[in-house]
A and B are shown apart, each in its own frame.
Chain A
Amino acid sequence: MSSQTPFTIEQFYKFMSEGKVMAAKCRKCGKIHLPPRPICDNCYAQEFSWTEVSGKGKLLTYTIIHVAPPQFQPLVPYPVGIVQLENGLRLPGMISGVAEAQLKAGIELTVDFEACNTNQTWPQWRRYCFKPP
């Protein structure tokens, strides 16, 4: 554990912009947290190790957004889903490169780290998405 890498959501997104899905493993009880958190909700320990998680997974469920908040309106309609990664942990996100007719639960997807930087003042995270492998 290093004091330079706090176990926070902010740090999770920093790793994502470096092309890595990083989870926090509790050194006391072994629970893996995605996203990381500073205190383990299972045993209240504060000692973690970073563990890299495969970005490959399967689509659990999806929807296609047609009505969006103002900043996303230019993108509609766009599909979003929840992906179960190979280690069983889940991440939601937009899905790109899959035709609407091909969208169904169970298809294989992988994290696309290059998706886009947002031009907002906060948060300045890179928005990952999911694409076919």
Chain B
Amino acid sequence: MKGKPLVSIISAGLSKFGKHEGVYTRELFSYAAKEAFDRCPTLNPKQDVKAMFIGHMGEAYEHQGHTGSAAADWSGLLGIPATRTEAACASSGAALRSGIYAVLSGLADIVIVGGVEKMTHRSTAEVTEYLAMASDYPFEQFHGITFPGLFALMATAHMNAYGTTQEQMAKVAVKNHHHACLNPKAHLQKEVTVETVLASKVVAWPLKMYDCSLITDGASCIILAKPELAKKYTDQPVHIIGSGQASDTIGLYQRKSLTSLQSTKLAAKAAYDMAAVNPQDIQVAEVHDCFTYAELMAYEDLGFCPVGKSGQLIDNQETCLGGRLPVNTSGGLKAKGHPVGATGTAQAYEIYLQLTGQADKRQVKDAQTGLTHNVGGSGATATAHIYRSDN
């Protein structure tokens, strides 16, 4: 089974990321579904798609839960089993994983997996409160520890342990903003400088406004098929050859390490082993940069560099477009935006474009092997997936 396709992506869709005023969650998702259906004219959605898994983190935004069936309805798929998956910001990473289970089980040959979040109609304070629900209530939220606060606690620990600097974190923002300028679907097309990032308003020291991902509306989906059927629908399937998902304590304070995520390490190891791929083989990656520090931590946890050396990787521009291993060519959560439930499959959408040569101005030349990494909460969930194209 090692290195063999688990499932094949035959199509993908992504709404514009940004502010969608007056648009409801299920409506937003239908934009992503329509793009995926339009991209694959040989697919008859009503006949061929047998199940939906959709990541959606929060009922609080619209007083609306039960997203699966509503999304199936607005996507013209009423009647199919449609299930919402929730794992905080990894909700659609978990949807993707669930879709793989469904296809491999033999219960469904073709499934749509995706995610959605509508956030921008709420105030920053409200969004801060809703996002914090993914952290531990009794010992974190109850004590006023916010989501940026949890990543700031890790960033401070990393600065102390390895001498990582705020400038190095700022460089992640500079890179991802630059990449987003090449992505017409990104929330922000705006270059920033290290000085701008450092001078921006403090959110949770040492993290400042430009270290944080954006509050964004967006939806994403991909269509998975049993590998044997993929060529019937597309000449350019992208195969998922490794999948990992892991859990850790919901409270950051209970973890052995405050500078790395055990869930990422476990998920990545499972995915690499299944794919028979090493970190050195990855040519393009979308990693969970909910905060700039989180991207540095991901470099280490995914094996892109030795522990403690992530600052040097960004200093050397190795993860920029044109570098050894371009990371977050879409602009990442940082600048493409982070509609939390949509993020996991939006990352898969970017890798799908990259491995099929459709990434236009941000195309990584001859990319054949890619990785996505999606984190829920402060790391209580992580998923990792490895992708390969045929060409």
Partner-B contacts on A (CB < 8 A): 9, 13, 35, 60-73, 75, 77-78, 80-82, 90-94, 105, 118, 123, 125, 127, 129
> 25 A-B residue contacts at CB 8 Å?
A60-B157, A60-B258, A62-B153, A63-B155, A63-B156, A64-B205, A65-B144, A65-B149, A67-B146, A68-B128, A69-B126, A71-B129, A75-B144, A78-B144, A90-B253, A91-B139, A91-B253, A92-B139, A92-B143, A92-B145, A94-B144, A118-B142, A123-B142, A125-B142, A127-B142
Contact among A72, A92, A105 for B160, CB-based, below 8 A: A105
The distance in angstroms between the C-alpha atoms of A104 and B67, with both chains bound, is: 44
Chain B neighbourhood of A127, CB < 8 A: 142-143
B138 within 8 A of partner (CB)? yes
Partner-A contacts on B (CB < 8 A): 124-126, 128-129, 132, 138-146, 148-149, 152-157, 160, 201-207, 251-254, 258
Among B149, B157, B207, the one with the most A-chain Cβ atoms within 10 Å of its Cβ is B149
Chain B's closest residue to A90 (CB) is: B253
Chain B's closest residue to A105 (CB) is: B160
Chain B neighbourhood of A77, CB < 8 A: 202
Chain A neighbourhood of B201, CB < 8 A: 66
B314 smallest CB distance to A (angstroms): 21
The distance in angstroms between the C-alpha atoms of A80 and B139, with both chains bound, is: 11
Q: Is the CB of A66 within 8 A of B156?
A: no
Chain A neighbourhood of B207, CB < 8 A: 63
Q: Is the CB of A61 within 8 A of B160?
A: yes
The distance in angstroms between the C-alpha atoms of A62 and B205, with both chains bound, is: 9
Known pairs A67-B124, A82-B258, A129-B143. 9 more at Cβ < 8 A? A61-B157, A64-B204, A66-B205, A67-B125, A67-B203, A68-B128, A69-B129, A92-B143, A118-B142
